[in-house]
Amino acid sequence: MAARLTDLQIRNATPRGKAYKLTAARGLCVMVMPNGAKYWRMRYRYGGKEKMLALGVYPQVGIRNAEQQADEARALLLSGTDPAEHRRQSKLQLRAKVARTFGQAAEAWFDFKSQRWREPTRLKARMYLDKDLLPPLSRRPITNITPVELTVVVERIEKRGAHNVAKKSRQWLHSIFDHAIATGLLEGTNPAQYLSAVAAPAPQTNHHAHLTLKELPDFLSKLDAYPDTSIPKAACKLALWTANRPGVTRTLLWSELDLDEGLWAIPKDRPGMKRGYAHVTPLPRQAIAMLRDLHAFTGHSVYVFPGRNDPRKPLSDGGVNVMLRKIGYAGRQTAHGFRHLISTALNERDYNPDWVERQLAHGDPDEIRGTYNKAHYLEQRRQMMQDWADLLDEIRGSGKPRP
């Protein structure tokens, strides 16, 4: 049996015209090449054939390391496994793991989920992926991503004050890794499962500023005194009569109105409508009259409330709020705050909460049970909003709301 090689023997081995071996115990040897390079090798037999296993380059791989690798190879042989084939398969598996990136997993998840999403949700998910999640994680092997790494990613979002984005990102990261596990891209536990445990507390929500019913007389007086030719004034009045969101109100299209039927039909996936819900709004008589008068001034535009400088565009996002500031209600009333005001007033007057919620377009109408009229409470809401418009007129006339 050959003796154990020493560092001195290997260092002193000089190159010759041909490669030769320094033999150690149990098939281990060092191949000394003509260029002076020295390679660890292990001879073994498998399936009746003699084979050679490469164990590294000396001195980067020392004697102890080479002997350890040789011992591991012999253990594989005892179990009936070819060490060379085992190494090849291990390299292939490692290469496959490295190829399974977070970007690959995220895109597979997005393709799967987006088939079930409405367009606004799909666009929002795409935006969050492209802006916040893919830049730091896209090329990372998914098997190497740790909970701490994901925490750092979400913390960056929180630090810029985007707490809602951070919350949604935590949910979607959890879903991405769940999908990766289910499809075989990842084995083991979900590294995003505990992200909520380190979520930074979101700042207290400041509701959109809005007046109380007792403050309406003075407000309506100042609103009525504002120039009648003001597009923001008309948009403000329609918001007061309908409780629709500012985004869909300022971008209202003439094509969405049926003034003979007294209806405003917002189609599904309409820009400005939260979650892209469809919504039908009954118009009180006061709103119908105003819109008929307004058509003489803005009927040339597709928009009911066209922009001041370009009728091909709608009223600007801050148009109504600028007007509210001019009449002295900065910080006291916002365009969105009308929804809070109307909701509070209608609920205090004991209208059916389901009617109020439907008027505010809360919840997906496609998931509301029942027939169209019953599910959407159209006729009930028509009377409720007419009552509300009449109450506003009473306040104008008497200077105070009736109990």
Query: Which of 11, 131, 362, 374 is labelled catalytic?
Result: 362
Catalytic residue (choose from 174, 210, 233, 245) = 245
Residue-level pLDDT at 263: 96
pLDDT score for 369: 37
The single residue of 97, 325, 336, 349 carrying the catalytic annotation is 336
E strand or H helix that includes residue 50: strand 49-58
Does the domain spanning 7-97 belong to CATH 3.30.160.390? yes
**For position 272, what pLDDT does the model report?**
64
The DSSP result for 209-229, as a single string, is P---GGGHHHHHHHHHHS-TT
Task: Please report where in the chains the tokens 């984005």 appear, as a residue.
Answer: 165
Domain 213-398: which CATH class? mainly alpha
Neighbours of 93 (CB within 10 A): 10
Q: Give me the catalytic one of 88, 131, 160, 274.
A: 274
Burial level of 117, CB count in 10 A (0-12/13-18/19+)?
middle
* Rounded-to-integer distance, Cα 55 and Cα 29, Å: 10
Q: Residue 332: which region, alpha, beta or left (left: phi > 0; alpha: psi -120 to 50)?
A: alpha
Among 174, 179, 233, 339, the one annotated catalytic: 339
pLDDT over 90, % of the chain: 56
The yes-or-no answer on residue 312 being catalytic is no
Q: For the segment 99-117, what is each residue's pLDDT rounded down to a tens digit?
A: 588 998 999 999 999 888 8
Q: Is 362 a catalytic residue?
A: yes
Q: Which region, left, alpha or beta, applies to residue 3 given φ > 0 means left and ψ of -120 to 50 means alpha?
A: beta
Instruction: Give yes or no: 336 in active site.
Output: yes
- Residue 367's pLDDT is what? 45
Is-catalytic flag, 174?
Answer: no
Q: Where do the structural domains in the chain lie, given as residue ranges?
A: 7-97, 102-198, 213-398
CB of 134 closer than 8 Å to CB of 159: no
The Cα-based distances of 153 to 135, 165, 354 in angstroms read: 10, 12, 41
pLDDT digits (tens, 9 = 90+) for 338-392: 899 999 999 898 999 889 989 988 765 544 433 334 447 899 999 999 999 999 9
Is the full-model pTM beyond 0.85? Answer: no
Which pLDDT score, from 0 to 100, does residue 370 have? 36
* Residue 38 annotated in active site: no
- The CATH number that domain 102-198 falls under is 1.10.150.130
Contact (CB, 8 A) for 339 and 360:
yes
pLDDT at 129: 92
Q: What is the mean pLDDT of each run of 10 residues along the chain (403 residues)?
A: 80 94 89 94 90 92 92 92 85 60 91 84 86 92 93 92 88 94 88 91 66 88 87 94 92 95 88 71 96 94 92 90 91 87 90 90 54 65 95 82 58
Model pLDDT, residue 262: 96
Q: Which of 21, 326, 372, 374 is catalytic?
A: 372
pLDDT of 18 reads 94
The pLDDT value given to residue 106: 92
DSSP-derived letter for residue 179 is H
Q: Give the span between the Cα atoms of 117 and 112, in whole angstroms.
A: 10
pLDDT at 229: 76
Query: Is 100 among the catalytic positions?
Result: no
